[in-house]
Structure 1
Amino acid sequence: MDKELQAKLLPLRQKIDALDQQILDLINERARTAQAVGDVKHGHPGESPVFRPEREVQVIRALAQANEGPIDAASIDAIWSQIISVCRGLEQEIRVAYLGPAGSFSEQAAFEFMGNAISGVSCPNFDEVFRVVEAGNADVGIVPVENSTEGAVNRTLDLLLNTPLKIVGEHSILIRHCLLTKSGTMDGVTRVMAHPQALAQCQHWLGLHQPGLQREPAASNAEAARIAAEDPTVAAIASDIAARAWGLNIVEEGIQDDPMNRTRFLAIGRMPTLPTGGDMTSLILAVPNEAGAVYQMLTPLAEHGVSMARFESRPARTGQWEYYFYVDIEGHQDDPQVAVALELLRKRCAFFKILGSFPKQ
């Protein structure tokens, strides 16, 4: 290396080394403070859970607002999410349930949302995710609720109807599907497997490029990858993370029909969430099957200036063409105008359930 260049770089590198040491010292000091917080909480069990979604969001939002760059807001989020996760883990191990096995998009969403310092609980289906959290064998569950291509994940909606759990957070990820095989080629491959949603999200590409493949549903994309790792006649649709997890090779990347394909996940748990100033509240509603009932049901939201962000319907399975409505509204259930609107809404509905209030992503 040129001596003049070396002379210019040396003091800058020494400064970086010194700054890294300061950052390390400060992170460790933060960790020790988190441990002290945990010690205080242990004296009041059940009153102050370790995972406080609203507190974590407020910390990151405040840092992003105070940030003067050149680091962008997304990077601030990524960095501090991991720092918070590590410090949280020093207070108490957090168990997070998700649809597995290894390499699923649900696993990816769990670690992005909760950070890497968690204990993952892989489940074979969405029902089991709810069950293990309800039973106290996991603290948080991560489940997909809607996809930008295929719409609502109906099994999740059905499970939300009867669970005592609350929605405590949300996280959205870009879904990039890959065609994976053991050999990295399509030689001898006769079947393609994936979760039904993934098969639907790639149907145009499959019809165009692999029309002869038999399409078979799997419990998850990661499960399809596991099967493909054992059976050379099977191709799996899954992520590049699943490819690495199961020792598969990528035949083709980005085979989803929509390049902007995204899935929104919900975090479900038992902990309460307090208002942050940027929240969402999810509801399930039902009204009598009569003219104008849905309009009358939603009138209190408009009258009190509460915006509706999402509206889905699911059959009530009574055989009478009745429906449950899944509604997301802006604001926290404890915000004054929202609270008034919800109380009026409750009186007009044949069925009324608050799924939870949580910080918007």
Structure 2
Amino acid sequence: MARIAFFGPEGTFTEQAARSLAGGAELFPVETISAALTVVRKGEADGACVPVENSVEGPVTATLDGLAEDAPLVAVAEALLPVQFSVLSRDDVETVRTVASHPHALAQVRLWLERNLPEARPVVASSTAAAAVGVQRGEYDAAVAAPVAVEHYPLRVLATGVADVPDARTRFLLLRPPGPLPEPTGADRTSIVVAAANRTGSLAELLTELAMRGINLTRLDARPIKGDFGMYRFFFDFEGHVAEPRIADALAALRRRCNNVRFLGSHPRADGVEATVQAGAGNDDFVNADAWVESVRKGELA
């Protein structure tokens, strides 16, 4: 049976995402995102489920940095979860003086805490589930956790469905070592990371390669390169699959522009949104253009 690591401990949103992506595989938690990637690279797990971005707090930097460094891993699937929390405690709401959770979670319920637990002091924990464990141990009075946490930690639910932004969502990736990719569906996402040259216009040149081929960019993040102050990596997500001629053509052009390009995967989008294809930028257009050039080379037509 395949084994999938997930950013734990048990009772996190990542566990919920892993359940939807694992396809019957054995799931086991690890303490950090870095540890989840490491066990896959060492061959101790067949894959890892980790968060990559949140609609309120933005990118999950530990995931981005982990994908850019060390042995390559590729995303083969994604899950998109609505993020609404439960507030868990051992006792009644009147006794709550400290509320613990992951920083992203605390940021997403700040207004709710101010209105409903104004005397409680927020405390940062390594994960939402770690906060629930801390409540069990008596370290905190309450935890802001994923609803699944109550399956693992017998705590009182003071409130559920808690979120300052009702439609907040987090996207999770299922990562594996390089190998066969999922087949294209027409509603796919391709991801790369590029260390662009430190000169005027270098990022614009890379983006132009996508724009010239009518490829819609869905995410762009910048992260500093460790040990090289002032230098950055750029993470691109865009519509399409590497199996498509137009996407392959764009990746080849990006590789010509910059040798430091890492492919991070092509897989179906969790939201099912189909790629936007401009007139003259469809896969058939690229195939037909290549065929015409080949015919010219063979002297078959002018």
Structure 1 runs, 4 residues or longer, greater than 3 Å off: 317-320
State the Cα RMSD in Å: 1.7
What is the CA distance between 1:134 and its match in structure 2?
1.1
Instruction: Check 1:232–1:159 CA distance in 2 against 1; reply closer, same or farther (3 A cut).
Output: closer
What is the CA distance between 1:277 and its match in structure 2?
3.1
Conserved 8 A contact 2:134-2:140:
no
> Which whole-Å deviations, capped at 9, do the CAs of 1:165-206 have from their partners, x for residues lacking one?
1111111111111111012x1243321111111011111222
SS of match in other structure, 1:96: strand
Give TM-score scaled by structure 1 length. 0.70
Aligned with 1:101 (options 4, 9, 14) = 9
What is the alpha-carbon distance in structure 2 between the residues aligned to residue 359 and residue 175 of structure 1?
21
Query: What residue is the counterpart of 2:292 in the other structure?
Result: none
What is the CA distance between 1:305 and its match in structure 2?
2.4
Query: What residue is the counterpart of 2:107 in the other structure?
Result: 200
Moved more, 247-256 or 229-238: 229-238
Unaligned runs of 5+ in 2: 271-302
Instruction: Check 1:308–1:217 CA distance in 2 against 1; reply closer, same or farther (3 A cut).
Output: same
Aligned with 2:253 (options 344, 351, 359) = 344
| 2:138 maps to amino acid | D
| 1:98 maps to amino acid | F
| 2:116 maps to amino acid | H
What is the alpha-carbon distance in structure 2 between the residues aligned to residue 182 and residue 133 of structure 1?
36
Query: What residue is the counterpart of 1:130 in the other structure?
Result: 37
Unaligned runs of 5+ in 1: 1-92
What is the CA distance between 1:122 and its match in structure 2?
0.8
Give the share of equivalent positions with the same residue, in percent.
Answer: 36
Query: What residue is the counterpart of 1:225 in the other structure?
Result: 132
Aligned with 2:82 (options 168, 174, 181) = 174
SS of match in other structure, 2:112: helix
Conserved 8 A contact 1:240-1:250:
no
Conserved 8 A contact 1:308-1:330:
yes
| 1:223 maps to amino acid | A
What is the alpha-carbon distance in structure 2 between the residues aligned to residue 294 and residue 134 of structure 1?
30
> Which whole-Å deviations, capped at 9, do the CAs of 1:323-354 have from their partners, x for residues lacking one?
21110122222321111111111121252111
Moved more, 256-265 or 345-354: 345-354
Corresponding pairs, count: 267
Query: What residue is the counterpart of 1:43 in the other structure?
Result: none
Instruction: Check 1:243–1:334 CA distance in 2 against 1; reply closer, same or farther (3 A cut).
Output: same
What is the alpha-carbon distance in structure 2 between the residues aligned to residue 154 and residue 354 of structure 1?
18
| Structure 1 residue 298 corresponds to structure 2 residue 207 | yes
Instruction: Check 1:133–1:139 CA distance in 2 against 1; reply closer, same or farther (3 A cut).
Output: same
Instruction: Check 1:124–1:320 CA distance in 2 against 1; reply closer, same or farther (3 A cut).
Output: closer
Correspondence 1:177-326 to 2 at 5 A: 177-183=85-91, 185-231=92-138, 233-270=140-177, 271-278=179-186, 279-318=188-227, 320-326=229-235
| Greater Rg over alpha carbons, structure | 1
Query: What residue is the counterpart of 2:286 in the other structure?
Result: none
What is the CA distance between 1:233 and its match in structure 2?
4.5
SS of match in other structure, 1:289: coil
What is the alpha-carbon distance in structure 2 between the residues aligned to residue 307 and residue 181 of structure 1?
45
Instruction: Check 1:155–1:233 CA distance in 2 against 1; reply closer, same or farther (3 A cut).
Output: closer
Conserved 8 A contact 2:131-2:144:
yes
What is the alpha-carbon distance in structure 2 between the residues aligned to residue 314 and residue 195 of structure 1?
21
Q: Which structure is richer in relative contact order (CA contacts within 8 A, separation 6 or more)?
A: 2
What is the alpha-carbon distance in structure 2 between the residues aligned to residue 259 and residue 316 of structure 1?
35
What is the alpha-carbon distance in structure 2 between the residues aligned to residue 345 and residue 319 of structure 1?
22
Moved more, 136-145 or 248-257: 248-257
| Structure 1 residue 360 corresponds to structure 2 residue 269 | yes
| 2:257 maps to amino acid | R
What is the alpha-carbon distance in structure 2 between the residues aligned to residue 186 and residue 248 of structure 1?
12
What is the CA distance between 1:312 and its match in structure 2?
1.2
| 2:63 maps to amino acid | T
What is the alpha-carbon distance in structure 2 between the residues aligned to residue 280 and residue 244 of structure 1?
33
| Structure 1 residue 139 corresponds to structure 2 residue 46 | yes
What is the alpha-carbon distance in structure 1 between the residues aligned to residue 76 and residue 205 of structure 2?
29
Moved more, 212-221 or 190-199: 212-221
What is the CA distance between 1:159 and its match in structure 2?
0.5
